[in-house]
Amino acid sequence: MINITLPDGSRKRFDGPVDGFQIAASISEGFAGNCVAMEVDGKMADMRHTVENDASVRFITKKDPEGLEVLRHTAAHVMAQAVCNVYPEAILTIGPVIEDGFYYDFDMPPVSEEDFPKIEAEMKRIIQEKLPVTRREVPKAEALDFYKNDPYKQEIIRELAEGSISFYSQGAFTDLCRGPHVPDTGYIKAFKLMKVSGAYWRGDPARPQLQRIYGTAFFDKKSLKAYLNFLEEAKKRDHRKIGVALDLFSFSDQAPGMAFFHPSGMEMWNALIDYWREEHRAAGYMETKTPLILNRSLWEQSGHWQNYRENMYTVTIDETESAIKPMNCPGGMLLFRRKRHSYKDLPIRAAEIGLVHRHELSGVLSGLFRVRAFHQDDAHIFMTPSMIEEEILGVLHLVKRMYSTFGLGFHLELSTRPEKSIGSDLQWEQATSGLKGALESYGADYRVNEGDGAFYGPKIDIHIRDAIGRTWQCGTIQLDMSLPERFDLSYVGEDNEKHRPVMIHRVVYGSIERFFGILVEHYAGRFPLWLAPVQAVILPINDALVPYAKEVAASFAAAGVRTRVDDRTESLNRKVRESQLLQVPLIVTVGGKEKDAGTLAVRTLDGAVRHGVDRDGFIRAVWENIAGRQKDLVGLGF
């Protein structure tokens, strides 16, 4: 007799060994048809897996996120089989599931997207055959013999522990794999190959270059269509294209991975920084600034020289080896250590918008999302252990206020003590309970990532969600028990003895360059009034009205509105159209009638037009909208 416990606590009894299909069918045949894999005592398994003893079982269905991962895992095998059928000389390496799809790396001659139709045609044939996907386990020696002509699989197998090695087969195709997989290839109802690129074996430029083919797969065609539409929308929002179109920023081969911000881009940049400073002053932060270059001894003390050296730019000054800072933290430690502190001084909230440089490989540079020089809105909060929960809660409230201003939702993830860590059990217990307490007090749901914390302390990662549902990890709150120790930081407690402060690293924007790029895509270049590089453009209908247009512009500027006059000898329609292409929120037209009446004609980007608008009242309303950092044109009569 075997007892199977289901997630709801109910039990199913079977006379003997039973596989996943049989267990699922005992619930209902319809339910069994939707199951693609299962979890047996916490371990993922195929539906054909036989359960021989009492166990807890959870089924993975087509509706579960894990179900899509299992499907895509099988789709990667189907693609590998198709490539090997079409290109018999191809040698298999690895093919993992990734966010939104999968890829497989092959040692083979270069392929291009023009080759995709024949690969996809072969994949369709394999899928239509509904080939069962079956697992078998063999001794390590047999696995090595099976792959005697594949050096990549041989390398992987040799690194595995002694014991049985699992293989998965579908028809004549077999691949080394841990699984699980969907029951047969027919479960794949919709797929598409997306792109191809070069990739070094195990990311090492000294190893062979491979062909990496990316794809995606779904349980139905509707989901694939929705995903492709999403990609089209994301493509339209590409910050690199919009940045050029709006003249915000650019890059040069003379400074790879380092952005040039243009005057319009700097207007938006400064609006972001002004807002950051306003919120941080209100939250009790002091702004600081630390040097760009610090000598080797400092980086050895912080541990960066030993553990991060390959990502740092170095320079020799007065025969002393130094480095351009990749992080602001060590400089912040020196600032705290410069004088004696009492427990009455704490918490100290020291913020810095610091320029840092990190050497990223040229192949991973991507617009503002991956650069070599960027600014971080760091803050280091020094406190007593009893202050942890309150300070974390303060950061969470600050984050919520700031992200909501941009219309960005977010979710939270707590990462706990990893296997390798520093600090005592008591320190980790205090730190983790402080984070959990703050999260509970904050009241939002959060996900726990067991063992994913930094070696120096647990952390909260903040993932923002943009206008089209993409998530980006920007903010983070990290408790650090390493740097205060390394730099021998202390404060004098109520007992008149020295104590080690607890320290928080935290960012809100993160990399400001990256956050800038995210906002460009979030708004698709159509920024709210307070953030727009040019907030109003004044268009005189003829040359005689240019002086009056400049007078109107001066009134806007006096109210703090970023304004320009377009007095070019172009048609009014053309100037309106060009202002719309530059996404100027307010297009103000002045003619003789407006001059005589002291009014304005105002057009917005959605095509709405108001005539006879009172000039002074409108400027006042615009100022109030900007000062309130409104998300839309509330208060302006549109």
- Is 306 considered catalytic here? no
Kind of pairing between the strands at 286-287 and 314-317: unpaired
- Is 447 considered catalytic here? no
Pairwise CA distance, residues 381 & 323, whole Å: 25
Residue whose C-alpha is closest to residue 92's, from 173, 158, 207, 19: 173
Of the candidates 505, 522, 562, 603, the residue annotated as catalytic is 505
Residue whose C-alpha is closest to residue 586's, from 628, 532, 516: 532
Of the candidates 181, 459, 506, 522, the residue annotated as catalytic is 459
Residue 408, phi then psi, degrees to nearest 5: -100, 120
- Is 237 considered catalytic here? no
Of the candidates 35, 84, 177, 329, the residue annotated as catalytic is 329
DSSP characters for 514-571? HHHHHHHHHHTT---TTT-SS-EEEEESSGGGHHHHHHHHHHHHHTT--EEE---SS-
- Is 378 considered catalytic here? yes
- Is 505 considered catalytic here? yes
Residue whose C-alpha is closest to residue 1's, from 22, 15, 11, 21: 15
Kind of pairing between the strands at 446-449 and 18-19: unpaired
Pairwise CA distance, residues 315 & 303, whole Å: 18
Of the candidates 77, 372, 380, 575, the residue annotated as catalytic is 380
Pairwise CA distance, residues 253 & 258, whole Å: 9
Pairwise CA distance, residues 82 & 98, whole Å: 20
- Is 329 considered catalytic here? yes
Pairwise CA distance, residues 539 & 554, whole Å: 13
Pairwise CA distance, residues 484 & 187, whole Å: 54
CB 47 within 8 A of CB 35: yes
Pairwise CA distance, residues 140 & 150, whole Å: 15
Residue 394, phi then psi, degrees to nearest 5: -60, -40
- Is 84 considered catalytic here? no
Q: Read off the tokens for 161.
A: 């522990």
CB 578 within 8 A of CB 527: no
Residue whose C-alpha is closest to residue 517's, from 213, 234, 314: 234
Of the candidates 170, 211, 376, 430, the residue annotated as catalytic is 376
Of the candidates 153, 280, 304, 358, the residue annotated as catalytic is 358
Catalytic residue positions, numbered = 329, 358, 376, 378, 380, 459, 505
